[in-house]
């Protein structure tokens, strides 16, 4: 009953996060046609056509932003049937069409769970679907139980239920700073009435600010044993994971100049995977989905207009295309003057 009243209150009071965000219908259609199957599977075409909780989460979020209720319903149907099968109610992270059974790793990925929960909250509010909101709340509660770890005054988001803790790795705990989907934390916190989500946000921001003060670039995977440093067994690079950090900051309206500075500087000579120790480019990232991230930072910091060729969307591969749409949606909402 309490839950019902809360749902009611949220709906009546117009608690509708992200409803106003827009995604051009044409761009979403192109994305959907290329990456979303009729059954609702979001395909990572650069990784052997597998799907994962992240791709499903992004698909749901974009469908909500685009106002596409039908696609949202089919993507959710697939996500729920195929991935949301864990005992704890979180999503198995990896789904391979060539494997039997399709779920090849039952471990979760915390960012995938956050994206799914955030998208469900978005849809619940946008289309007045309390069931979606309820589902979002359940995932947020379960993830808080599974993945949030308090260390001293800090609250960290573990990347998964298994494999990254102090006891499981010599350099543990190991985190992934790009799993902080900052726009989702206030939503998850409100949904669950649990302040630890805001503490996670604060801890993430403090980490990024500390790194910025040391003029250090965040690597994809970070060991928290002692002073934060690149985790063992992963390339010490600002790469495909970490490059989402500035986008998430911008989308959440948390992009202070100082906080963005290391990312902006790292890409001064073009978008690339960057070695965090030397600052040198390791591998260029020429796709528009990456370049628009640099353009978005330039817009936010210096009001530099976004180049025309990046304003129109042409799908490339799943991942940069996803980032492209998230950036376009963010720019049109927050920085219309750059568009």
Partner 1 sequence: MHVKSALIAVAVSSAAFYTIGRYGSEIRWPEAPSPAVQQALAQSEKSPEPAQPAMPELAQAETEFAQAPAAPGRPAAPAPQRVDETALRYFASQGDTRRFEAELARLRALYPEWKPPTDLNTPPPAGDPELERMWKLFADGKFGEVRAAIAQRSSADPNWQVPVDLVAQLDRVEAGQRLINASNAKQWEQVIRIGTETPALLTCANVDALWRVAEAFVQTKAPERARDAYAYVLTNCTNPAERLGTMQKALADLPEASIGQLLGQERQNEFASIRDEIARRRIGKAAEDPSLTATPEDLRRIEALANAVTTPDDAILLGFYTFHHGEPAKAVTWFQTALARNGGAKAAEGAVLALGATQKYEEAETLGAQWLGASPANRKAYLDVATALITQEPAPRLERAVIERIAKTVGVDRYAPGGAGLGWYAYNSGQIAAAETWFETALTWDRGYEPAAYGLALVHQRLRDQAGLRAIIAEWRSRSPRIADLLNPARRRVDTREARPLPDASPADRPVPTPAPAELASRRAVRAEPAPRTSYEDDVPAMVATRRPAPERPRSGSCGSGAGGAAALQRGWCLLNLRRPAAAAAAFDAALRSGNAQVAADAAAGKAYAKIQQGLTAEASAAAAAAKLPPARQRELQSLLLSERFYAQYDAKDYNGALITLGERARFASETTDLMLMRGWSYFNLGRYDDASQIFEALYKANRSPQALSGLTAIRDVTQRNRS
What residues are annotated to the active site? 54, 111
Q: Which is nearer to partner 1, 95 or 221 (CB)?
A: 95
Binds partner 1 (CB under 8 A): choice among 39, 210, 302, 309:
39
Distance CA 84, CA 143 (A): 13
- Binding region for partner 1 (CB under 8 A) out of 35-43, 264-272, 274-282, 297-305: 35-43
Q: Which long-range contacts (CB under 8 A, 24 or more apart) does 123-132 make?
A: 123/60, 123/63, 123/64, 123/69, 123/72, 125/10, 125/11, 125/15, 125/16, 125/17, 125/18, 125/19, 126/16, 126/18, 126/19, 126/64, 126/67, 127/69, 128/11, 130/7, 130/11, 132/76
Provide the mask over 103-142, with x wherever binding to partner 1 is found by CB under 8 A and - wherever it is not: x--x--------------------xxxxxx-xx--x--xx
Evaluate whether 281 touches 272 at the Cβ level (below 8 Å).
yes
Q: Closer to partner 1 by CB, 70 or 253: give it.
A: 70
Q: Which is nearer to partner 1, 172 or 289 (CB)?
A: 172
Please select the residue that binds partner 1; options are 87, 167, 226, 336, rule is CB under 8 A: 87
Is 259 a binding residue for partner 1 by CB under 8 A? The answer is no
Q: Which of 27, 61, 92, 117 binds partner 1 (CB under 8 A)?
A: 92
Q: Which of 49, 70, 97, 270 binds partner 1 (CB under 8 A)?
A: 70
Alpha helix ranges (H) inside the chain: 2-12, 25-35, 53-66, 69-78, 110-126, 130-147, 185-192, 196-213, 245-252, 257-266, 288-302, 308-311, 318-334
Among 7, 55, 321, 322, binds partner 1 (CB under 8 A): 7
- For partner 1 (CB under 8 A), the number of binding residues is 44
Both ends of the chain: CA-CA distance in Å? 46
Which residues sit at the interface with partner 1, rule CB under 8 A?
Answer: 3-4, 7-8, 11-12, 37-40, 69-78, 80-82, 84-87, 89, 92, 101-103, 106, 127-132, 134-135, 138, 141-142
């Amino acid at each position: 009953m309490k839950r019902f009243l809360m749902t009611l209150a949220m709906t009546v009071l117009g608690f509708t996060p992200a409803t106003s965000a827009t995604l051009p219908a044409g761009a979403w259609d192109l994305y959907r046609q290329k990456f979303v199957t009729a059954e609702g599977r979001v395909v990572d075409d650069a990784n052997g056509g597998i799907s994962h909780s992240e791709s499903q989460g992004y698909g749901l979020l974009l469908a909500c932003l685009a106002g596409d209720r039908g696609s949202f319903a089919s993507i959710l149907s697939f996500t729920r049937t195929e991935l949301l099968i864990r005992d704890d109610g979180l999503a198995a992270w990896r789904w391979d069409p060539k494997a039997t059974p399709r779920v090849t790793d039952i471990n979760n990925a915390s960012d995938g769970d956050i994206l799914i929960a955030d998208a469900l909250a978005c849809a619940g509010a946008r289309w007045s679907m309390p069931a979606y909101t309820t589902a979002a709340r359940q995932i947020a509660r379960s993830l808080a139980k599974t993945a949030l770890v308090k260390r001293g005054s800090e609250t960290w988001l573990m990347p998964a239920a298994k494999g990254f803790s102090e006891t499981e790795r010599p350099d543990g705990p190991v985190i992934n700073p790009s799993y902080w989907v900052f726009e989702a934390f206030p939503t998850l916190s409100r949904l669950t009435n649990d302040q630890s989500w805001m503490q996670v946000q604060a801890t993430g921001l403090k980490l990024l600010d500390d790194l910025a003060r040391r003029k250090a670039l965040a690597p994809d995977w970070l060991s928290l044993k002692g002073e934060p440093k690149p985790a063992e067994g992963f390339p010490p690079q600002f790469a495909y994971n970490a490059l989402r950090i500035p986008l998430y900051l911008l989308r959440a309206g948390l992009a202070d100049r100082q906080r963005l500075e290391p990312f902006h500087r790292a890409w001064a000579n073009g978008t690339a995977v960057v070695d965090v120790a030397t600052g040198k480019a390791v591998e260029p990232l020429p796709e528009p989905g990456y370049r628009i991230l640099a353009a978005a930072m330039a817009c936010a910091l210096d009001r530099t207009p976004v180049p025309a060729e990046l304003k129109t969307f042409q799908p490339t591969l799943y991942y940069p295309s996803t980032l492209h749409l998230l950036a376009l949606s963010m720019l049109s909402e927050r920085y219309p003057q750059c568009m």
